[in-house]
Structure 1
Amino acid sequence: MEYQLQRENPIAVFDSGVGGISVLRELIRIMPEEDFIYFGDSKNAPYGTKEKEKVRDLTIGCARKLFDQGAKGLVVACNTATSAAVRKLREMYPYIPIVGIEPALKPAALCMEHPKVLVMATPMTIHEEKFHVLMERYKEKAQILPLPCPGLMDFIERGDLDGEDLYKYLEDLLYSYRENQVDAAVLGCTHYPFARKQIQQVLGENVKIFDGGEGTAREMKRRLQEKDLLCGRQKRGQVVFENSLTDDSKIELCKKLLNI
């Protein structure tokens, strides 16, 4: 089935939970006049512990629903879903702008002469072939230190951003990298920017911190422009939040995170 893409239609942002709100913030900053649908598949989260085929099926199913609602473009704001499904989605919908996300290793690796770069990501992302290809590409430019962060995403999914337990978790996790042990840190999961302030605090003010949200938003704008699909409105757009869980707690958390 081929969908009719209209300029005034919304851009869809998809994630397995609430982390993609960090990407939605960048999209709104760069394209404030556009409408957005944000869909979180919290019912099936986390994706990072599932088989690749299962993640692919879930992502394709959610994408189809969003296209049925008239989405003119799709941002897959989840590293695991990007690796599992974006290539397949582009084959299925070659005429729809579809953008995935990947850790912002390039700007971090090029931020100075041969920096030490810590890449914080889910265990699943760090084991994926896609990530190893990315590391291989920049290994001559930087010393890259991958760090799996099991459980960090769960703090954000619970909305636990100010508690002492998050700070304690980060202190234990990042203990070896404090006191000028690294030059830059890459937040390799869309949930992690919500803990950016605490990560900066633990690593120290001199560490440059990078995430993939802005680059992803700019890429979506470029692809929409290419297809003449930017809405061209002068007024600010609207955001609709949807979630696969039926209670409203995740939607309330999404609204809160968008305004943080």
Structure 2
Amino acid sequence: MDNMLKPIGFFDSGIGGISVLKETIKILPHEDYIYFGDSKNAPYGTKTTNEVKKLTFEAVNFLLSKDIKAIVIACNTATSAAIDDLRKFYKNIPIIGIEPALKPAVELKKRGKIIIMATPMTLSEKKFNNLMNSYKNDNDIEPLPCAGLVELIEQGLLEGEELNFYLKNKLQPYLNSNISSVVLGCTHYPFIKKELSKILNKDIEIIDGSLGTAKQLKRQLLKENILNPKLSLGKVEILNSLNDDNIIELSYKLLNYQ
């Protein structure tokens, strides 16, 4: 098959990467996509680096068997654990990762604390700490590990009392301080933006890395000259390691979720 016409592979530890796929479809509507979520092994954010690396390599091999032209690791935890090794191993295919959108938060130049909500593993990885250290001299950055939040979202809990209680509990220590922005450092978290904004002051910016990743993918496709030339809209196929129709149904629902 002509490289240009091949689909783009998307991978996440579950349904979270759908938030990145949504942004990508807006920017690259003529591409075909194969999305693979590993909900059977979710969450990744509480596993060891080696476990996450192994699962990510297995997922990438699975996507490569589908004859794709590029891969997006639409998972912050998998990116921080495995992206460098993946790029060394698979040199002939563009591999795009995602990281917490700290740079856009810093560039707002707003006074106050930048809170980074992410999984415990993302926050403990060297990759994230290097990113944070490059900004922390001039900014008040507060990492906030959110164990358990991915599980709620994987169950389809995107708003309501239980989620509100969880978020209030997490953010309670900061609600009376001056917060400039909240960075969503896990691709699952954009789906709970609505509930989050009920708790936060309305002038607090909520930022995620989806758009930056989508733009980077487009740059890579242009560089490799493999943008899909067709004028019709692309197709999306969603697969999941959980042999369960509900998770596929939820994935398609989230893809069209406003």
TM norm structure 1: 0.95
Contact between 1:177 and 1:203, CA under 8 Å: does it hold in 2? Answer: no
CA deviation map 1:51-90 (0-9, x unaligned):
2122111111111111111110000011111122111111
1:210 match: secondary structure:
strand
Distance 1:10 1:84, change over 3 A: same
Q: Which amino acid in the other structure matches residue 139 of structure 1?
A: K
State the Cα distance separating 1:179 from its structure 2 match: 4.9
Which residue in 1 is equivalent to 2:139? 142
Deviations along 1:173-211, one digit per CA (max 9) or x if unpaired, are 112222562011100000100011111221111101110
The yes-or-no answer on 1:48 pairing with 2:51 is no
Q: Distance in 1 between matches of 2:120 and 2:60?
A: 25
Q: Where in structure 2 are the equivalents of 1:1-260 lying within 5 Å?
A: 6-113=3-110, 115-179=112-176, 181-260=178-257
Give the Cα separation in 2 of the matches to 1:55 and 1:148: 17
Which has the larger displacement, 188-197 or 173-182? 173-182
Which structure 1 residue ranges, 5 or more long, are not aligned? none
Contact 1:109 1:141 in 2 (8 A): no
The 1-side partners of 2:87 and 2:2 are apart by 15
After superposition, give the CA deviation of every residue in 1:223-242 in whole Å (9 maximum; x if it has no partner). Answer: 01100010011111010000
Contact 1:180/1:204, CA 8 A, preserved across alignment = no
- 8 Å contact kept, 2:150–2:188: yes
**Identity value in percent:** 50
User: TM-score, normalization: structure 2?
Assistant: 0.96
Q: How far, CA to CA, are the matches of 1:102 and 1:11 in structure 2?
A: 19
Unaligned residue ranges in structure 2 (runs of 5+): none
The 4+ residue runs of structure 1 with deviation greater than 3 A are none
- Structure 1 residue 245 displacement after superposition: 1.2
**In structure 2, distance between residues paired with 1:58 and 1:123:** 17
When structure 1 is superposed on structure 2, of 149-158 and 14-23 the one drifting more is: 149-158
Aligned to 1:190, what secondary structure does the other structure show?
Answer: coil
Rounded to whole Å, the distance in 2 between the matches of 1:51 and 1:74 is 23
Number of residue equivalences: 257
Question: Aligned partners of 1:237 and 1:195: how far apart in 2?
Answer: 27
In 1, Cα distance between equivalents of 2:58 and 2:121: 21
Q: Offset of 1:162 from its aligned partner? A: 2.5
Describe the SS at the equivalent of 1:138. coil
CA displacement at 1:32 relative to structure 2:
0.6
Compute the RMSD of aligned alpha carbons.
1.4
